[in-house]
Amino acid sequence: MSELKCIGIDIGSLATKIVLMSNGDMVDWRLNRSTYDFKRVGRDLFDDILTKNNLSRSEVYVMSTGYGRNTIDFADDRITEISAHARGVQFFYPEARSVIDIGGQDSKAILISRKNGNVIDFQMNDKCAAGTGRFLEVMAHALEIPIDEIGSLALESNKPASISSTCTVFAESEVISLFAQGSLKKDIAAGIHKSIAKRVASMAKRIGVEPLLVFTGGVAKNIAVKKYLEKELDFEIFQPEYPQLTGAIGAALIAKDKNAN
Amino acid sequence: MDNIELLESYNSYLQEQKANGKKIIAYLTHDNVPIELFEAAGFVPLPLIFAGKDELMDASHSYLPPSTCSYAQSCIGYFSSTPRTHEFLDLADYILLSNHCVSNICVSEILSNNFNRKRLDFYVSYTRNSNALKYYKLELKHLQKEIEGITKERIPDHRIKEEIIRHNNFKTIVEQVSKLNIPGSEKLDIYQKAILYGPAIQAEIEEIISSYKSNTKNTNSTHPKNVIFTGCSIFINDYLMDLIEDAGGNIVLFDTWIGRNYYSQTFSEEVIASLNDPIDLLTKRFENNVYGDHCVPDSLDNKIVFLENYVNEYHKKYGDKIGVINHIIKFCDHFSLFQSYFKEKLQERGVQVLNLERDYSRSIKGQLSTRIEAFMEMI
């Protein structure tokens, strides 16, 4: 009998990710903008991954996760992104003890048990956008540079500007004001990254994150956030090859675990 | 979903009381308000135990900044929002100002100054030493005089004592609800209604308890993740209870003012018989209230020990490990300030804790739901 194939689908506020796993390996994946219509984007990605892999609905077990997990009516079960990321990082780093996940509108710190790999504590930002991908987007817009370039620009700075506001709206005004005072873009960009790292690290310290810490979510692709987080936490942190897919991979692995029991 | 039926029937009840010439005293709830005094004087106590909403909070911003406790904002919103969501509050003649927290004082002052409600003051000490007890007693006497000044009649001691006994019996009955094997949401509905109406609905509460006792339905299979709920109370028409149950949670103990802090404020018959002066009885209750959230220096540590014991006893009895949800209304000075200490101390004792800080806006429902579901997955 062939092994049941598992699909994890992570509906984030900005991006929807889907992975197909078989025999504990990632076979295929997709990623697209979530738009306002989570359900349709999820359905399209699901249909596409099934078609491309010559699979029918009955051959896969589907676990949804992420902000829009409840909108996926074709899922067999659902799991929060907190459990999914904790499980997903263990796929890449079995020794992982902590996770920092920064997505489009949320940032989370997760502590994993040494004994059994289960989540033992977590912290999550509240509705404030500071310390999230959205914050970076707003700041990139204020600096008039593409979001993909803001991280590398920040790394060119030796003198990060001081951004004292933690609120996105006030920080944006502060950035414009720094601009007006003649501060360099790269220094402002560095200040922005430092500000995110300070905020997220402070949240993570509240639950006592420790090495080995894995950085996941879309913002983990930003090398400057990683660098400043390492400075704030004072230890090395790791990024998986596909940080954005961690939640979907975790959901698929939880689906597999569930079906094995 | 809003419990429209409860609000409508409460509106009719207040209208009826008003038509009978009764005066209504609104108050921000806490466990040291001597509502027996109000009832002995023929007043109707109106606890402000209604949950907030975006519209209510927005409507308060002409009076309070958004960085004030969300419950306080909502209380002002009850009176200032258009259209009004709780019109029966117009029936309140008086507002009791007490110092349970800064918000309590701010809200009562604003309501009295801007919404034409006469103010009665009742300050309470946070300690339980001999001077604090003397002060509480003086405040009770002062409040009694203020009320007598309104009615132009002395409140006879025997009337106050009758009310103390009536409330005492009622709370003993309400306590039975905590032992019923029913979903938390059903317990909460009973507590909220009991606190709203008080002993006036004792027969109804007894009937509800009796019908539950005769129904042997086991709820554990549908709600496998049992939790204790502590911190700020869940007020009427709050969506939070739905989020907890939708996440597969079931509250087995409400360690909040709407719950244990209310029904545990009782005396034994011996104590009632031993103290003739009803003011001494009320003072004794204040003295005994060492679990109250504003009893210093030890209330938080007492609470931690109580919760640890409850969790261990529950584990022994049912074999289940239960977690604790610590509910913090955003900008609530008291619960916000101590949340880290509270969580850390319980975690040291092996109890899992979710500090659930939130305001009443609809936009945070998704994040709240994620936190609650993740906590349920964790336990």
Partner-chain contact B374 A120, CB within 8 Å:
no
- Tens digit of each residue's pLDDT (9 = 90 or more) over B183-240: 999 999 999 999 999 999 999 999 999 998 887 655 554 557 999 999 999 999 999 9
Partner-chain contact B374 A127, CB within 8 Å:
no
- In this prediction, residues A113-122 reach a mean pLDDT of 89
Partner-chain contact A80 B347, CB within 8 Å:
no
Residue B2 has pLDDT above 80, yes or no: no
- In this prediction, residues A111-134 reach a mean pLDDT of 83
Element spanning A140, H or E = helix A133-143
CA A34 to chain centroid, in Å, comes to: 14
CATH of domain B219-378: 3.40.50.11900
B327 in A contact zone (CB under 8 Å): no
Look at the alpha carbons of A73, A79, A85, A90 in this order and tell me if their dihedral is positive or negative. Answer: negative
B161 — pLDDT class (breaks 50, 70, 90): very high
Give the angle A10-A12-A16 at the CA atoms, nearest 5°.
60
Residue A135 has pLDDT above 90, yes or no: no
Query: Which residues in A lie closer than 8 A to residue B357 (C-beta atoms)?
Result: 126
Q: How far apart are CA A67 and CA A105, in angstroms?
A: 9
Which chain A residue has its CA at the smallest distance from B370's CA?
A80
Element spanning A20, H or E = strand A15-22
- In this prediction, residues B352-379 reach a mean pLDDT of 93
DSSP B163-206: HHHHHHHHHHHHHHHHTS-S-HHHHHHHHHHHHHHGGGGHHHHH
- In this prediction, residues A196-200 reach a mean pLDDT of 90
Query: Which residues in A lie closer than 8 A to residue B243 (C-beta atoms)?
Result: none
Partner-chain contact B378 A120, CB within 8 Å:
yes
Q: Do domains A1-93+242-261 and A95-239 have the same CATH topology?
A: yes
Please state whether beta strands B118-122 and B94-98 pair in parallel, antiparallel, or not at all (unpaired).
Answer: parallel
DSSP character at residue A53: T
- In this prediction, residues A124-153 reach a mean pLDDT of 81
Q: Do domains B4-155 and B219-378 have the same CATH topology?
A: yes
Q: What is the pLDDT of residue B213?
A: 85
Partner-chain contact B378 A119, CB within 8 Å:
yes
CATH for B4-155, options being 3.40.190.10, 3.40.190.290, 3.30.540.10, 3.40.50.11890: 3.40.50.11890
- In this prediction, residues A68-76 reach a mean pLDDT of 93
| CATH class (in words) of the domain with range A1-93+242-261 | alpha beta
In the Cβ-directed half-sphere of B123, how many Cα atoms lie within 13 Å? 6
B303: alpha, beta or left? (left if phi > 0; alpha if psi -120 to 50): alpha
* Pairwise pLDDT comparison (B379 vs B298), residue with the higher score: B379
Which chain A residue has its CA at the smallest distance from B351's CA?
A120
Q: How far apart are CA B220 and CA B251, in angstroms?
A: 11
- The radius of gyration computed from the CA coordinates of chain A, to the nearest angstrom, equals 19
Give the angle A179-A184-A190 at the CA atoms, nearest 5°.
100
* Domain spans, chain B: 4-155, 219-378
Partner-chain contact A80 B364, CB within 8 Å:
no
Q: How far apart are CA A122 and CA A90, in angstroms?
A: 16
Encoded amino acid at B87, one letter: E
Identify the CA nearest to B375 among candidates B189, B220, B250, B233.
B250
B68 to chain A nearest CA, in Å? 16
Element spanning A171, H or E = helix A168-180
Q: What percent of chain A has pLDDT over 70?
A: 94
B98-101 CB contacts, 8 Å cutoff, 24+ apart? B98/B27, B98/B28, B98/B30, B98/B32, B98/B33, B98/B122, B98/B123, B98/B124, B99/B123, B99/B124, B100/B28, B100/B30, B100/B32, B100/B124, B100/B294, B101/B69, B101/B294, B101/B332, B101/B333, B101/B334
Q: What is the pLDDT of residue B289?
A: 85
Q: How far apart are CA A219 and CA A102, in angstroms?
A: 6
Which chain A residue has its CA at the smallest distance from B371's CA?
A124
Q: How far apart are CA B340 and CA B8, in angstroms?
A: 40
* Integer angstrom CA distances of residue B276 from B138, B270, B298: 17, 11, 30
Alpha helix locations (H) across B226-354? Answer: 240-246, 260-263, 269-274, 278-288, 299-318, 333-348
Chosen from A81, A85, A126, A166 to mutate, greatest number of chain B CBs within 10 A: A126
Q: What is the pLDDT of residue B358?
A: 93
- Tens digit of each residue's pLDDT (9 = 90 or more) over B254-272: 999 999 999 999 999 999 9
B198: alpha, beta or left? (left if phi > 0; alpha if psi -120 to 50): left
A168-180 and A185-206 helices cross at what angle (nearest 10)? Answer: 150
SS3 sequence of A82-100 = HHHHHHHHHHHCCCCCEEE
| Of A160-169, B68-77, B312-321, B325-334, the least confident | A160-169
Closest Cβ opposite residue A83 in set B330, B366, B377 = B377
B224 to chain A nearest CA, in Å? 16
CATH for A95-239, options being 3.30.310.50, 3.40.50.2020, 1.10.10.10, 3.30.420.40: 3.30.420.40
A82 to chain B nearest CA, in Å? 6
* Domain spans, chain A: 1-93+242-261, 95-239
B249 to chain A nearest CA, in Å? 15
Closest Cβ opposite residue A83 in set B352, B361, B374 = B374
- In this prediction, residues A132-146 reach a mean pLDDT of 83
User: What average pLDDT does chain B have?
Assistant: 91
- B183 close to B303: Cβ distance less than 8 angstroms: no
Q: Strand, helix or coil at B87?
A: helix
Q: What is the pLDDT of residue A148?
A: 85
A149 to chain B nearest CA, in Å? 29
A209 to chain B nearest CA, in Å? 14
DSSP B326-356: EEEETT-HHHHHHHHHHHHHHHHTT--EEEE
Query: Which residues in A lie closer than 8 A to residue B378 (C-beta atoms)?
Result: 83, 118-122
- Kindly report the backbone phi and psi dihedral angles of residue A121, in degrees, each rounded to the nearest multiple of 5, phi listed first: -165, 160
Identify the CA nearest to A222 among candidates A137, A128, A138.
A137
Encoded amino acid at A126, one letter: D
| Of B185-194, B300-309, B333-342, B366-375, the least confident | B333-342
Any bridge partners for residue A123, and if so which? Answer: A109
Torsion of CA B217, B223, B228, B234, to 10 degrees: -90
B202-214 and B157-178 helices cross at what angle (nearest 10)? Answer: 20
Greatest CA separation for chain B: 60
Query: Which residues in B lie closer than 8 A to residue A83 (C-beta atoms)?
Result: 374, 377-378
Which chain A residue has its CA at the smallest distance from B363's CA?
A127
Q: What is the pLDDT of residue B50?
A: 92
* Pairwise pLDDT comparison (B176 vs A158), residue with the higher score: B176
Structural tokens at position A137: 């987007």
Residue B328 has pLDDT above 80, yes or no: yes
- In this prediction, residues B293-309 reach a mean pLDDT of 86
Residue A249 has pLDDT above 80, yes or no: yes
Closest Cβ opposite residue A206 in set B340, B352, B358 = B340
Residue B329 has pLDDT above 60, yes or no: yes
Q: What is the pLDDT of residue A130?
A: 67
- In this prediction, residues A136-148 reach a mean pLDDT of 84
Q: Strand, helix or coil at B213?
A: helix
- Tens digit of each residue's pLDDT (9 = 90 or more) over B98-134: 988 888 899 999 999 999 899 999 999 888 899 999 9
Q: Give per-residue burial for A191-215: e unless 16+ CB within 10 Å, then b.
A: bbbbbbbbbbbebbeebebeebbbb
Is B109 buried (19+), middle (13-18) or exposed (0-12) by CB count in 10 A?
Answer: middle
Query: Which residues in B lie closer than 8 A to residue A118 (C-beta atoms)?
Result: 378
